[in-house]
Amino acid sequence: MNTNDLLLADLIKKASEIMKKLKRDEVNTLVPKSEQLIKFEDISLDYSRQLVDQKILTSLTKLDQIKNFKRKVRSLFSGKEMALHTFFRQGEVGFKDENTETWKQIEKQFLMVQELCEKLEKGEKTGWKNDRFENVIFLGLGGSMIPQKFVHKALKHKYRTSRLKFAFFSNPDGLDLSEYLISCNARTTFFVVQSKSFKTPEVFFLFDYARKWLHDHGCGTTSVFSQFLVVTSNPKSAKAKGFISDHIFEIPEKLGGRFSIWSAMGFSLALMAGKENFNSFRIGAKNMDQHFYKATVLQNLPIIMALISIWNRTFLNFPTQLVVSYSSALDNFVPYLQQLEMESLGKSINKEGVKVSYPTSGVIWGGSGFDAQHAYFQLLHQGTDIVPTTFIEVLEDGSETNNLPVSSYTEENIRAQADALAVGSPLNGFDGNRPSSILSINGISPYNLGALMALMEHKVFVQSVFWNLNCFDQPGVELGKRLLLSKTSNINEEI
């Protein structure tokens, strides 16, 4: 056997031994270890309650799957992968001179975004009756919308600088949209249609509903498109549909939808929080990029998080992973993660087109930790399946939250829950040995949120390298779209 086979065999043996101990309900298989803490700036990970140690992590990094990893990361940052999201982060890591034209296009796009934001905010961009806009409504779904909702919810309370009102809609039935429009004035309402492909039927249903609403409230056919902006990688189709060229922001085809918030797809953040905060958001991501590129493997936050997920999924064969947040600002974090990870890694075919022989992405689920504790945490403690859990906490001082008792309670509560899962109470039927991590963020800010999202993107990339998957495509999603389009082509033509 070669070295890689020996390492792999040893890891499989260790995983088997751990699972045998768990099945025998051996107490203290999982004992919190204080040294298992890793940090970058305002984000830290305590993984002392995971079923993993430094020897296992070191062995994982020596496998062939991680060899030449630096070269693959360089390939990501230099634009050789089917992805350009790092290019939009206020300067990526050391490859600017190699992509001059791409950089020129990016800078031009940000100037266009900023110019429109200023015109809408100052009332220089007006509706068909020259009224200044009061409402901005975003229409889209999937990667064009989920990250926007997450970021908007996280930052709107403390970092909103705009006088405008914002709303986001994805369901093509129009029920939520129609209810919201009751309180809107058509003359002062601006719509942003966000669709990378500009082929998604659901988006066209929403657009058609908005267009008819404008018509019903006096907007003429020739004026209606002045009330719309489009963000897409398919400007040709947008123009054919009638949208005004100056109201079309083009993003690159190589910029995946779920990675696109750093571009003009982040228009909602740029408009809501202003240029300075949008730039801070991108800088936070850029600095996480640099950490990912430069830090040693065992001090590298995205790599460690990825290796823990790989160990839990591929070696210990846990089918799901739970993410619970204890900050209402992060209420939309789980839907964001669900798309990012399961669309990127939910694949059984590798880059060579061969079916893999090992488990890949697990099912991500979760939500509010406070609700979860009084609902499905029962399953975590005594259920027949082990569910690795990530607790997300936001650390803020009393002056920032104005409620120090709640902050202290939350911090202690999370650790009590994590310890309960780890240690259990065997005499009372709680086996314990349920793995968990605590991801801590020192306050929600545009900078820290950018760093958090970049961290998750890089974690996914590491997992894709290990599993030899293309994390930048979504063939299953595209198959569903093609079948739908073949059955509804006549409907699409009508709208």
Give residue for tokens 């839990």: 312
Specify whether the CB–CB gap between 95 and 77 falls below 8 A: yes
Give residue for tokens 């997992």: 463
Token readout for 143 is 């990667």
Specify whether the CB–CB gap between 192 and 139 falls below 8 A: yes
Give residue for tokens 């998750």: 456
Cα–Cα distance for residue pair 78/96, rounded to 1 Å: 8
Specify whether the CB–CB gap between 171 and 119 falls below 8 A: no
Count Cα neighbours of 293 within 13 Å in the Cβ-side half-sphere: 19
Give residue 443's identity as a one-letter amino acid code.
G
Q: Where are the beta strands (DSSP E) in 109-232?
A: 135-139, 165-169, 189-194, 228-232
Burial code of 136-148, b = ≥16 C-beta within 10 A, e = fewer? bbbbbbbbbbbbb
Count Cα neighbours of 417 within 13 Å in the Cβ-side half-sphere: 27
Cα–Cα distance for residue pair 418/429, rounded to 1 Å: 17
Which positions are catalytic?
343, 374, 481
Token readout for 493 is 């033509």
Q: Where are the beta strands (DSSP E) in 96-175?
A: 135-139, 165-169
- Our measurement of the distance from residue 268's CA atom to the centroid of its chain's CA atoms, rounded to an integer in Å, reads 16
Instruction: Say which residues have a Cβ less than 8 Å from residue 79's Cβ, sequence separation at least 6.
Output: 87, 95, 98, 99, 102, 254
Cα–Cα distance for residue pair 452/270, rounded to 1 Å: 18
In degrees, to the nearest 5, what angle opens at C-alpha 439 toward C-alphas 435 and 445? 165
